[in-house]
Structure 1
């Protein structure tokens, strides 16, 4: 059972919360740390955590609601320090790499700050980017899409930017549109080509800034969309019916199966594969429920639920996984509420903060640190969950 604590204590100190009751073996306890706002009034749940525990996010001006600045939180022995990087402005997604570089908006441009907080590069004006947010890696390479297709309105060009120069991939094979969404640490981009002239017309692609390789679904079929790629160049996509997940490597695509209900999928923008090749997503069970899964070397594991009904896609979701095979997401409880969860080593644990209006967990790193936010009557505050027992 979750220990209920006064909300004021949650907001101003570090807590240790046990997981909800479940199987007989001991559950990990979590330390929940409130991230400082540096005098700002609130924060968005737009957060990114790296493998060192550094976090990038947006905090709201105390005097101008709806205006946000880019900040970075750095871990210390006693908690976290916050470093403002930009002026207050309109919100825009932020990213942090494992070097501590932060990519975000500064005025009319997307820029990169180094770990010292110095602005070291300007990538492009904000208006250059499509609706798909840019991503970047530890080499300070940035992947984004721009342009507008003839009818779809989707982008037509993929761009790979680096401090050394820029490469563009412009509508190969006469495609109507294309979009690139993921970039690995080897500098390989992943995306989807729409309505190409060469069958199967709609395929995935890898692109390293020089050479482009198409990725079909199993059996040479068209893809619905590509989802994620790891540093082994294993690519995850969804088949033409949008109900089958596949993994492709070295030209061989494999359907990963389902939980007995004939249907599986992964989310378009969210992480789906880790460095070990484990894949996470959602699948329908034989009884008709939708459960999260973790696929490992040919075996799909049902991660279960927090006790509530999960017959609809709104009942459950996956938001991230790390290289240890830990998965975070959302599941409905027996009371009908959607709570964030952490699944690790066969156990799903409720991460909801008692007394909050909403608890959201968005990312988890390889240290098992999860970052998210809690919303109360005073606003939204960023927090970090850290496992304190194995």
Structure 2
């Protein structure tokens, strides 16, 4: 994952995401929304696995690039690949919110799955394939999609009505989460070649346990968060070949995995003591606290092959 983040003045977007999209935990890696600014790219690397004093040794200078919009007032860049292609979402001239693909200075509207509502681009791979979720025509539900060459494909659900894509790897495998049959819970999924597989949860004691897939590597390993690790709290997990492993916490009640590299190392965030959240690095099932820059909160959003978080 590229270490770039997208930064702007925080304020609420006038459009709201569907309620199914919000994981039931203290914080999530939401598609944050911004008002009054076009999307722009600002490289902001947090190399947490090296010494913190090294960060202060040099302050690099970066250039913000205005990515424009789809004709409306707002846009937000959410994910970027190694080639500098960006996906996110933007207002259109028709007062809708659509996913976009930005390539070589051109922002392309990815449309919806036939609905007149919104779509959101949340993940992009090295080939420029995009995943996210989009409104379905006439039924008021949202579905995970895979957009290839500007053609948006519905990835279906796990038997429920809603689904959303969140992470995508180089071969076009997608992870995210979906309503399961009966609508009692949301489960993480792995979609391969258009076939959606339920990754389950960390426990089988309740049909209402939920799980969410956030990050995926090129081997198809998935990280996210799930209930079922002995209580109703969410714990970060690593799913390998469909087997979900609890990554634990930093001593608090909950955690979530957000990024994963080719070696299966995971980063995310964990409750520490009930009042603070810290970024972590999980290697071989051992979770290490990456600390903060002096405050109470830090989140690990992505990790690369060099174990920079």
Shared fold per TM-score greater than 0.5 = yes
CA RMSD of aligned residues (A): 3.7
How many angstroms does 1:332 deviate by? 2.9
Match in the other structure for 2:234:
290
Q: Aligned to 1:178, which of 112, 119, 122?
A: 119
1:211/1:290 Cα in 2 relative to 1: closer, same or farther (>3 Å)?
closer
How many angstroms does 1:361 deviate by? 4.2
Match in the other structure for 1:301:
245
How many angstroms does 1:306 deviate by? 2.1
Structure 1 position 133 matched with structure 2 position 77: yes
Structure 1 position 273 matched with structure 2 position 216: yes
Give unpaired runs (5+ residues) of structure 2: 8-40, 48-52
Structure 1 position 238 matched with structure 2 position 184: no
Distance 2:6 2:178 in 1: 34
Match in the other structure for 1:85:
62
1:226/1:149 Cα in 2 relative to 1: closer, same or farther (>3 Å)?
farther
Q: Is contact 1:149-1:176 (8 Å) kept?
A: no
How many angstroms does 1:320 deviate by? 2.3
Of structures 1 and 2, the one scoring higher in RCO (CA 8 A, sep 6+) is: 1
Q: Aligned to 2:262, which of 310, 323, 327?
A: 323
Structure 1 position 367 matched with structure 2 position 306: yes
Distance 2:58 2:123 in 1: 30
Match in the other structure for 1:341:
280
1:149/1:253 Cα in 2 relative to 1: closer, same or farther (>3 Å)?
farther
Equivalenced residues, count: 261
Q: Is contact 1:175-1:196 (8 Å) kept?
A: yes
TM-score (norm 2): 0.70
Distance 1:139 1:254 in 2: 30
1:59-91: CA deviation from partner (whole Å, max 9, x where unpaired): xxxxxxxxxx9567799xx966443234xxxxx
How many angstroms does 1:144 deviate by? 3.3
1:193-232: CA deviation from partner (whole Å, max 9, x where unpaired): 21424x795322111233221110134x432322111111
Matches within 5 A, 1:52-201: 70=42, 81-86=58-63, 104-105=64-65, 110=66, 123-124=67-68, 128=72, 130=74, 132-147=76-91, 155=97, 157-163=98-104, 167-197=108-138, 201=141
Match in the other structure for 1:207:
147
1:84/1:300 Cα in 2 relative to 1: closer, same or farther (>3 Å)?
same
1:85-105: CA deviation from partner (whole Å, max 9, x where unpaired): 34xxxxxxxxxxxxxxxxx34
1:300/1:137 Cα in 2 relative to 1: closer, same or farther (>3 Å)?
same
1:292/1:171 Cα in 2 relative to 1: closer, same or farther (>3 Å)?
closer
Give unpaired runs (5+ residues) of structure 1: 1-47, 59-68, 87-103, 111-122, 371-390
Q: Is contact 1:73-1:82 (8 Å) kept?
A: no
Distance 1:342 1:234 in 2: 24
How many angstroms does 1:359 deviate by? 5.3
Match in the other structure for 1:357:
295
Match in the other structure for 1:225:
164
Distance 2:196 2:170 in 1: 17
How many angstroms does 1:126 deviate by? 9.9
How many angstroms does 1:145 deviate by? 2.4
Distance 2:75 2:108 in 1: 20
**Quick check: which has more Rg, 1 or 2?**
1
Distance 1:339 1:256 in 2: 26
TM-score (norm 1): 0.57
